[in-house]
Chain A
């Protein structure tokens, strides 16, 4: 490997990207516009239904059964395991759920800072009065926490998604274009090796993605005060690993294709399902198990989940190690096959 040749390709590709103003501005503007759009769309009061998580729904007491049979409140079942309960309590803290009720133990959790939680509690206590019991039937547990808005929840996904498009199309599509117009053939006639060429493309795109993502992150944060509870360095690591994984996926797609139309179709075939089924826009918790299993294959699922855990929950590297390991393994596998299949012409 010649570092001189690597740097020549690396700087040349960087210049090309930076000088292509339309592509550069689109890379920066698109996520900002999406975030601004969502911020605007979810800024007003939205007529909402109360949402209550119910533990031990099947063995509910009579009083609890009366409560959970009320209309106009959305009740959903929560597993009785410690982790599921702890996860749901976090949702109460973030105002994503108005109340968590253990229907067997007659215990409930509400957020003292949530107006909706306050109202649901009033309904529950009103029911107790209606039954005519003087005794406190339901035991109150209070939690508190800042509200997590949808915009806070969706921003890690939007940043990851923007990274995915830049990685897949920025490397995959460019390689196919250069193969088609003979640029790669010209490079093949020089002492450049495939490894040098591919590593320069990866390094160039990695740096550009990280710079653009940082720009979008801090720019968006300036306008929309979204939640960032974790370490910026950890988030940087997640995005770097995610970018590597998705660039490598782009390399596999572009390894041999000569037609831009075919490449465009294939890149869309990978990017669109990832965009919709990686938990960028909506949580996959309630989705069918098959869908959840498929989503596990997508690098975008792991980047989004890890970034969200850092930004919202303040998770450390150990907490997201599962996602990091998957992304690292995917990067190595994709890189290996991408380099193995690669053809100059």
Chain B
């Protein structure tokens, strides 16, 4: 049975001009992947950096395995920052060895190298790595101490779709070992695919928290019908809940048959019709009135 690994109570971080984190409570159970979602400026990176012990909270309490953050946490936590420079003129292998030597015990480096797919680049200078190679090295550094808890701050930002998929596989692999993962992202598909539990942040507060599925079920019992805007120019939409997105009109309804009948009756072509379930993007839009990608 999962136990509480990290407890955050009434966490607050105020800067002179902004309340970055405004009283949040989170409990992380051992072995889950917890997603912290929100647009830029929501306060998620500040929250994570407080949890990582990088910045000091204005107030609040953080307990790791029932104790305040300290040496034990620094030895048992793996961290992958949103942007980290690596030392110049040092190879991938030397970088891993350097970080491994920072810890009393470390993971088997050969296994880590294979797992993070770094074998081909071991003797390459850090400066010469591509975006995907670099992210994999940063993940390997985060795993070098064989951590119990791993923080991944927007790990796939800037990666191409293939590299993102590969990265997801790595994260799933880490999850399968029973390690606890804290993931911040603004990619909803990433959160949906990887996270057991999510919290959505806005203006420094958590506005929704739960499993992705339960949050969607709690908030929606409808689906979205999507058609190009041009196709609907002669169709009266006034009796429907609609939303315009990327040149398409989205009609939200609990009765798909009724809407499709109306469209047919008005001789609207259905060849480009798409029907999709509600997503976390919709949830965020509903909760905050903002696009999550903003």
Question: Within residues 155 to 196 of chain A, which ones have a CB less than 8 A from any CB in chain B?
Answer: 178, 181-183, 185-186, 188-192
What number of residue pairs across chains A and B have CB atoms under 8 A from each other? 63
Contact at B102–A191, with CB atoms within 8 Å? yes
B 59-87 contacts with A by CB, 8 A: 71, 74-75, 77, 79, 81, 83-87
- A12 interface contact, C-beta 8 A: yes
B79 touches which of A181, A189, A345 (Cβ 8 Å): A189
B90 at the binding interface (Cβ < 8 Å):
yes
From A8, A16, A19, A183, give the contact of B101 (CB < 8 A). Answer: A8
A20 interface residue per 8 A CB criterion:
yes
A4 to B102, CA, bound (A): 7
From B75, B90, B99, B101, give the contact of A4 (CB < 8 A): B101
Chain A hits for B260, CB < 8 A:
none
> Known contacts being A5-B102, A7-B101, A8-B102, is A185 close to B81, with CB within 8 Å?
yes
Bin chain B's interface residue count. 20 to 34
Which of A7, A8, A191 is within 8 Å of B75, CB to CB?
Answer: A191
Residues on the A chain within 8 Å of B98, using CB: 8-9, 11-12
Q: For residue A13, give the distance in angstroms from its CB to the closest CB of chain B.
A: 8
Determine how close the nearest CB of chain B comes to the CB of A20; give it in whole angstroms: 6
Chain B residue with minimal CB distance to A196? Answer: B102
Residue of B53, B75, B84, B86 contacting most chain A CB atoms (<10 Å): B84
Decide yes or no whether B54 CB sits under 8 A from chain A: yes
Q: Take A5-B102, A182-B83 as given contacts and tell me if A16 and B54 are in contact as well, using a CB distance cutoff of 8 Å.
A: no
Q: In this complex, which of B74, B85, B99 has the most chain A Cβ atoms within 10 angstroms of its Cβ?
A: B85
Q: B83-98, CB under 8 A of A: which get 1 and which 0?
A: 1111111100010011
Question: Does B148 have its Cβ within 8 Å of any Cβ on chain A?
Answer: no
Q: Which residues of B contact A186 (CB under 8 A)?
A: 79, 81, 84-85, 141
- Chain A residues within 8 Å of chain B by Cβ, number: 23
| Contact (Cβ within 8 A) A16 B90 | yes
Name the one of A4, A11, A20, A189 contacting B54, with C-beta atoms under 8 angstroms: A189
Question: In the complex, A319→B99 CA distance in Å?
Answer: 47
Cβ contacts A308-321/B at 8 Å (1 or 0 each): 00000000000000
Cβ of B154 within 8 Å of any chain A Cβ, yes or no, is no
Q: Once the chains bind, are A185 and B84 in contact (CB under 8 Å)?
A: yes
- Assess the B84–A183 pair: CB atoms within 8 A: yes
Q: Which of B74, B83, B87 contacts A189 (CB 8 A)?
A: B74
For A4, A12, A178, A189, the residue with the greatest tally of chain B CB atoms inside 10 Å of its CB is: A189
CB nearest to A12 among chain B residues: B98
Residues on the B chain within 8 Å of A20, using CB: 88-89
In the complex, whether B52 has a CB less than 8 A from a CB of chain A is: yes
Q: Are B54 and A188 in contact (CB under 8 A)?
A: yes
Q: Is the CB of A183 within 8 A of B86?
A: yes
Q: Is the pair B81, A190 in contact by a Cβ cutoff of 8 Å? A: no
Residues of B within 8 A of A183 (CB): 84-87
Cα of A211 to Cα of B234 in the assembled complex, Å? 83
A71 sits at the interface (CB 8 A): no
Give Cα distance in the complex from A192 to B77, angstroms.
13
Most buried by B among A19, A190, A192: A190
Known: A9-B98, A189-B74, A190-B102. A16 touches B89 (CB 8 A): yes
Query: Counting CB contacts under 8 A, is A15 at the interface?
Result: yes
Report the separation of the CA atoms of residues A20 and B94 in the bound assembly, to the nearest whole angstrom: 16
Name the residue of chain A whose CB is nearest to the CB of B104: A191
Which residues of A have CB within 8 Å of B101?
Answer: 4-5, 7-8
Q: Which residue of B lies closest to A5 (CB)?
A: B102
Interface pairs A-B: 5 shortest CB-CB: A181-B85, A8-B101, A19-B89, A190-B102, A189-B79
Instruction: Report A's interface with B, CB cutoff 8 A.
Output: 4-5, 7-9, 11-12, 15-16, 19-20, 178, 181-183, 185-186, 188-192, 345
Give me 29 A-to-B residue pairs in the complex whose CB atoms sit less than 8 angstroms apart, sorted by A's number. A4-B101, A5-B102, A7-B101, A8-B97, A8-B101, A11-B98, A12-B87, A12-B98, A15-B89, A15-B90, A16-B87, A20-B89, A178-B85, A183-B84, A183-B85, A185-B54, A186-B84, A186-B141, A188-B54, A189-B79, A190-B74, A190-B103, A191-B71, A191-B74, A191-B75, A191-B102, A191-B103, A191-B104, A345-B54
**New A-B pairs, 17, CB < 8 Å, besides A5-B102, A9-B98, A345-B55:** A8-B102, A15-B90, A16-B87, A20-B88, A182-B83, A182-B84, A183-B85, A186-B79, A186-B141, A188-B54, A189-B74, A190-B74, A190-B99, A190-B103, A191-B71, A191-B102, A192-B102
